[in-house]
Amino acid sequence: MDAILIQILNGLDKGGAYALIALGLTLTFGTLGVVNFAHGALFMLGAFCAVLFNKLLTFSTKVKDESITFFDAYKEQPYLELWFGDLGTTIIDYSVPLSILFAIPVMLLIGVIMERGLIKHFYKREHADQILVTFGLAIVIQEIIRHFFGANPIPMPPPEIVSGSAPLGAMLGLNENLVYPWWRLIYLAFSLLIIGAVFAFLKFTTFGMVVRAGMADRETVELLGINVQKRFTIVFGIATVVAGLAGVMYAPILPPDYHMGMDFLVLSFVVVVVGGMGSLGGAVLAGFMLGLLQSFASMNEVKSILPGIDQIIIYLVAVVILLVRPRGLMGREGVFED
Amino acid sequence: MSIILDISSVNKTFGGLQALNDVNLKIEEGETHAIIGPNGAGKSTLLNCCIGRLIPDSGSVTFNGQNMIGMQPHDINHAGMVRIFQTPEIFPDLTLLQNVMVPALAKRDGTFKFNPFKSLSAEKAILEEAHATLADFELDKFHDQLANSISRGDKRRLELAMGIIQHPKLLLLDEPTAGMARHDTNRTIDLLNSDKMQNMTKVIIEHDMHVVFSLADRISVLVRGNIITTGTPEEIKNDPKVKEAYLGESDEGESEDE
Amino acid sequence: MFKKILASNPLIMLIFSAVVLSAPIWLAPFGANYPDLLQKFAIFGIFAVGYNILFGLTGYLSFGHATFLGIGSYTAVWSFKLLTMNILPAIVLAMIVSGLFAVVIGYLSLRRSGIYFSILTLAFAQMAYSLAYSVLTPITNGETGLQVSQQDPRVLDAMAGIAVTDGIPSTNLFGALIKSQGGYYGFYVAAVLLIIAFYISLKIFRSPFGMKLRAIKSNQTRMKYTGFNTKPYLLTAFVISGMYAGLAGGLLASIDPLAGAERMQWTASGEVVLMTILGGVGTLIGPLLGTTLIKYFENIFSALNDSELHSMFSFMPEGLQNIMVTVVSPFVGEGWHLTLGLVFMIVVIFLPGGIMQGLTHLFNFVKRLVGLGGSNKVIDNMAANDTPNNTLNKHKGEA
């Protein structure tokens, strides 16, 4: 029972990340008609926003180490601590959540530059061309990050106060020993919050209404004389920010390295396909569903019956869905079927 | 005259819309049969039901004694029914010569043949036939140009050539002159009336009355999914029902042409 | 004259064979004539030529062809372990086994087209890769990779009375060691297979079968209404290209009897796409050009380091020299992949037809410049047969 609860939480957690990446991916599909193989790289860039922000905050200088009295010792101390004392220490401690504020403008800028500079020119090109050029871009982004940050994963601690585990068992009146990392709970809540925000934005703003109309029938929207160009840029920017935020908050769970984007890209494509190309609800549903499936498949009880199932479950589901129901769970007819 | 295509009690609905309502139509061997009717009357739906693109809700389509419903498009082609599309469906990235060679090979090779070691230039009979067919359609001078480089009128004639080279038992033409200039239209009419094609069984969907009356032996009028009458051009011209239901709107219909 | 050469198969094959077999000579000035690199040119050349039969002719973009390369390698190593160190059975088996896998994966993936097809092939490739690392460890030997050892049974060798007494056995072709002649023997074996592979590809390109594949790429719907069942055509092309990949994989293992799962990674599949596109998708010779260039520059660029860069720019004043080294160094050595990614993007953006398209433009330009004028027939004919179209992918079939 406890094991199952843990697996459910693990699955929802992973699912949250999948859903966030897939949300942006399917938004770009649906509105811009672009297959973006560099979307995983944007997730990775988000995680490295957290790394970079942490580096900036901990920009240090050499100061005399007062704690050592019998000889002159020096230690590295961040400027922030020198200037603001304990407040500085606290800020550094909270660098991951704070880097959200840093990541939003940075990712938005990256998204806008990418759309204006490259993606725009590929609206009318074949899907194969889009896949190829964004695949090239993904390699370029990934290699740039490796050049500056190296090849090794960089651990990013969550804030001290939530670095431990939540006494989940005690809270729910179950087994006292049942605990779960605080940060993972926060990630789950965060992903739900962002998903909610994106849906609310699309549902309740005029801009969102036009975007949804565009996903349903692009030509008509263009005929109405609405400036789709500008909206495309903004939609792409939003997709970039969502992927970036998913990455920022994932940094304490999985230490960022330069190729994490590729690993997540393949998975999130599968998520998008399973959910149904161009269906936002489908992407979220499929994200959580596949996260749960993957989590359950990695249980020892399951693995002993079907060895290796945890490694391939997602791809297996994707293949079956594509062959049996090519539109995915919630996809509409005719989307990307040409 | 024997019946080559027998469409009997065909119904097709899209959502709540009755696109075809109990349609009965018999095409006789050797005739040129025109189906006319205002936009949205169900003409294209009817063709699609014959060619395997759509499956009727009920009714039967019998071609040459063979049931066509549920058959794959490539099998329908080999049964001898060939369709020419309204927007030219050609192979834009192949040369004109290759465009007509492909259907000629279909006729010879069947639905699938694996012959990777046979050289194209050794296909003497096919090449000869392809050149001759292109010449019939005054296209041979472009034979080594890519098909997407020729004019729209030429593309439509090319598609016609692609159909003819298969010597179909029945040719279905979906608005063969739509979007053509008058001079191009007349050329196409002359082609379809030429000795080689005159005796081929043809079903033509057409808006342009000039074309219809120059080509058709018999005409059926389709209005809102119903065949209201079938007869010779003279009978149709003088039928008050047709005048009321269709010819009154025909000006509008013709303006649909680009 | 030019046209005649292009139209004649024996002439093309004569020139092609001469160029390939004399590669150790004419590549010497480029510093690329050592066996290791030459073998790579030939083996990945086979891979790309085969991939082009699928992607170039039908337009179906597979993102999982490295799977067949990996399967070929594993099969070949097993043949070395169980049967004989002779590479001939290994290569034949590699082609058969990858062909069988290609039948299954192709049959399922080809039920969809366009991006769905790409994702299906990607999903199968990822499954194969993950399984090779986990459950299939008894067959693949997981992360260590599959190797030959002295204790392997090698039934056929044992029957022939060949026993290995010292160390790890070496691969051979009827007794002649692959690594003999400083590795040149291995290159010539691969080169001969490349010539055969190229000849088959040439025949396919110029056969009715090849023209039908091209017609499917151009307009699949029309193909169906023209009376062709397109599925078996696509599957045949898929299986042929899978067998080419299997052959390449078997050869890789023949040169160095080792097989690892990283050979099946999807970045490896991406690489063959890149080689094909860089040279020119759908052209006969383009994929080979692409392979040679990428493998050559990979070799040169990835070996460069800062001190070598300093000596390269040593003719410059010191300040400028340092700037140049700083600018260039991210693109070489470890950063080779950055260069590769950039080249990839530039080609797709500006030259979708690859190098062959560039050459065609250049050829036309020079001709106009020289004032040969007159008919453009040669080029038109080339364009129709062997040179790329502007679009990489054109199939319109139903999903």
Cα three-residue angle B40-B41-B46, rounded to 5 degrees: 105
Residue percentage of chain C with pLDDT more than 70: 91
pLDDT digits (tens, 9 = 90+) for C218-236: 999 899 999 999 999 999 9
What A312-317 contacts at long range (C-beta under 8 Å, 24+ apart), as own/partner pairs, is A312/C126, A312/C127, A312/C130, A312/C131, A314/A267, A314/A270, A314/A290, A315/A270, A315/C123, A315/C124, A315/C126, A315/C127, A315/C130, A316/C127, A317/A270, A317/A274, A317/A290, A317/A293
Q: Do chains B and A touch (3 or more CB pairs under 8 A)?
A: no
Position B195 scores a pLDDT of: 78
pLDDT exceeds 70 at position B96: yes
CB B173 within 8 A of CB B205: yes
Residue-range definition of the domain harbouring residue C225: 2-303+351-385
pLDDT digits (tens, 9 = 90+) for A214-229: 777 766 776 676 677 7
| Burial of A77: CB neighbours in 10 Å, binned 0-12, 13-18, 19+ | middle
The yes or no reply on domain B1-80+168-258 and CATH 3.40.50.300 is yes
Interacting residues of C219 by C-beta distance below 8 A, sequence separation 6+: B89, B90, B91, B92, C394, C396
Position C372 scores a pLDDT of: 59
As a whole number, the mean pLDDT across chain B is 86
Q: How many CB pairs under 8 A join A and C?
A: 131
- Residue C386, CA distances (Å) to A338, B147, C3, C381 in order: 26, 16, 12, 8
Reduce the DSSP state of residue B221 to 3 states and report it. strand
Nearest-CA distance C202 → chain B (Å): 9
How far is residue C42's CA from residue C239's CA, in Å, rounded to a whole number? 21
Residue C211 lies in a domain: yes
Position B257 scores a pLDDT of: 37
Residue C169 lies in a domain: yes
Residue percentage of chain A with pLDDT more than 70: 95
What is the band of B210 on the pLDDT scale with cuts at 50, 70, 90?
confident
What is the band of B32 on the pLDDT scale with cuts at 50, 70, 90?
very high
Contacts of residue C235 in chain B, CB cutoff 8 Å? none
Find residues 49-88 of chain A whose CB sits inside 8 Å of chain C. none
Nearest-CA distance C248 → chain B (Å): 21
pLDDT digits (tens, 9 = 90+) for C288-322: 999 999 999 888 888 777 777 777 777 878 888 88
CB A45 within 8 A of CB A257: no
pLDDT digits (tens, 9 = 90+) for A226-283: 677 788 888 899 999 999 999 999 999 889 988 888 778 778 788 888 888 778 888 8
- Token pair, residue A23, equals 């949300």
Q: State the average pLDDT over residues C336-351.
A: 87
What is the band of C3 on the pLDDT scale with cuts at 50, 70, 90?
low
Nearest-CA distance B47 → chain C (Å): 13
Regarding predicted confidence, which is higher, B80 or C326?
A: B80
Interacting residues of B166 by C-beta distance below 8 A, sequence separation 6+: B77, B82, B103, B104, B106, B107, C226, C227
pLDDT exceeds 90 at position B102: yes
The backbone torsions φ and ψ at residue C353, rounded to the nearest 5 degrees and listed phi first, read -90, 5
pLDDT exceeds 90 at position C173: no
- Token pair, residue C86, equals 């002779």
Interacting residues of B50 by C-beta distance below 8 A, sequence separation 6+: B5, B7, B61, B63, B68, B81, B83, B172
> Residue B81's beta-bridge partner residues?
B170
Position A111 scores a pLDDT of: 94
Q: At what angle do helices A95-117 and A86-93 cross, to 10 degrees?
A: 50
pLDDT exceeds 70 at position C386: no
- Range scoring the smallest mean pLDDT among A301-310, C179-188, C269-278: A301-310
Residue of C267, C341, C392 lying closest to A136 (CB–CB):
C341
What is the band of A41 on the pLDDT scale with cuts at 50, 70, 90?
very high
Position B1 scores a pLDDT of: 62
Contacts of residue C114 in chain A, CB cutoff 8 Å? 127, 336-338
Q: Domains in chain A and their CATH numbers?
A: 2-324 (1.10.3470)
Position A182 scores a pLDDT of: 87
As a whole number, the mean pLDDT across chain A is 84
Reduce the DSSP state of residue A150 to 3 states and report it. coil
- Token pair, residue B178, equals 């739509």
Residue C260 lies in a domain: yes
Regarding predicted confidence, which is higher, B54 or A169?
A: B54
| Contact at CB, A129 and C134, closer than 8 angstroms | no
How far is residue B101's CA from residue B166's CA, in Å, rounded to a whole number? 10
Reduce the DSSP state of residue A2 to 3 states and report it. helix
Position B246 scores a pLDDT of: 60
- Range scoring the smallest mean pLDDT among A261-275, B3-17, C62-76: A261-275
Position C178 scores a pLDDT of: 82
Residue C194 lies in a domain: yes
Position A333 scores a pLDDT of: 55
Reduce the DSSP state of residue B171 to 3 states and report it. strand
Task: For residue C205, give the chain B residue with the closest CA.
Answer: B116
How far is residue C101's CA from residue C95's CA, in Å, rounded to a whole number? 10
- Residue C297, CA distances (Å) to A3, B184, C41, C291, C313 in order: 52, 56, 12, 10, 19
pLDDT digits (tens, 9 = 90+) for B144-187: 899 999 988 888 889 999 999 999 999 999 888 877 888 888 88
Position B16 scores a pLDDT of: 77
Residue percentage of chain A with pLDDT more than 90: 23
Interface test with C, best of B68, B71, B72, B74 (most C CBs within 10 A): B74
Position A66 scores a pLDDT of: 73
Position C389 scores a pLDDT of: 40
Domains: count for chain C: 1
Find residues 190-249 of chain C whose CB sits inside 8 Å of chain B. 200, 203-204, 206-212, 214-215, 217-219, 221-230, 232-233, 236
How far is residue C213's CA from residue C205's CA, in Å, rounded to a whole number? 9
Task: For residue C391, give the chain B residue with the closest CA.
Answer: B93
| Contact at CB, A315 and C393, closer than 8 angstroms | no
What is the band of B255 on the pLDDT scale with cuts at 50, 70, 90?
very low
| Contact at CB, A137 and C266, closer than 8 angstroms | no
The backbone torsions φ and ψ at residue C205, rounded to the nearest 5 degrees and listed phi first, read -60, -35
Q: Looking at this predicted complex, what is its ipTM? A: 0.87
pLDDT digits (tens, 9 = 90+) for C29-51: 887 788 889 999 999 999 999 99
Residue C312 lies in a domain: no
Position C391 scores a pLDDT of: 38
pLDDT exceeds 90 at position A336: no
As a whole number, the mean pLDDT across chain C is 85
Position C382 scores a pLDDT of: 41
> Residue B28's beta-bridge partner residues?
B3
Regarding predicted confidence, which is higher, A16 or C162?
A: A16
Nearest-CA distance C100 → chain A (Å): 19
| Contact at CB, A266 and C118, closer than 8 angstroms | no
Q: Which residue has the tokens 């080509």?
A: B215
pLDDT exceeds 60 at position A318: yes
Per domain, the residue ranges of chain B are: 1-80+168-258, 91-167
CATH of the domain at C298: 1.10.3470
Regarding predicted confidence, which is higher, B73 or C317?
A: B73
pLDDT exceeds 80 at position A134: yes
What is the band of C394 on the pLDDT scale with cuts at 50, 70, 90?
very low
| Contact at CB, C123 and A315, closer than 8 angstroms | yes
Chains contacting C (3+ CB pairs below 8 angstroms): A, B
CB C271 within 8 A of CB C336: no
| Range among A275-284, C231-240, C273-282 rated most confident | C231-240
Task: For residue C276, give the chain A residue with the closest CA.
Answer: A132
pLDDT exceeds 80 at position A77: no
Residue C314 lies in a domain: no
Residue of B78, B92, B116 lying closest to C209 (CB–CB):
B116
Interface test with A, best of C55, C329, C344 (most A CBs within 10 A): C344
Radius of gyration for chain C, computed over Cα atoms and rounded to the nearest angstrom: 22
Element (H, E) at B21: strand B17-28
pLDDT digits (tens, 9 = 90+) for C197-217: 999 999 999 999 999 999 999
Find residues 328-357 of chain C whose CB sits inside 8 Å of chain A. 330, 334-335, 337-338, 340-345, 348-349, 352
Interface test with C, best of A140, A144, A321 (most C CBs within 10 A): A140
| Contact at CB, C330 and A147, closer than 8 angstroms | yes
| Contact at CB, B119 and C206, closer than 8 angstroms | yes
**Helix (DSSP H) and strand (DSSP E) numbers for chain A:** 15, 4
pLDDT exceeds 50 at position C390: no
Regarding predicted confidence, which is higher, A76 or C127?
A: C127
Find residues 130-159 of chain C whose CB sits inside 8 Å of chain A. 130-131, 133-136
What is the band of A94 on the pLDDT scale with cuts at 50, 70, 90?
confident
The backbone torsions φ and ψ at residue A12, rounded to the nearest 5 degrees and listed phi first, read -65, -35
Q: State the average pLDDT over residues C349-378.
A: 77
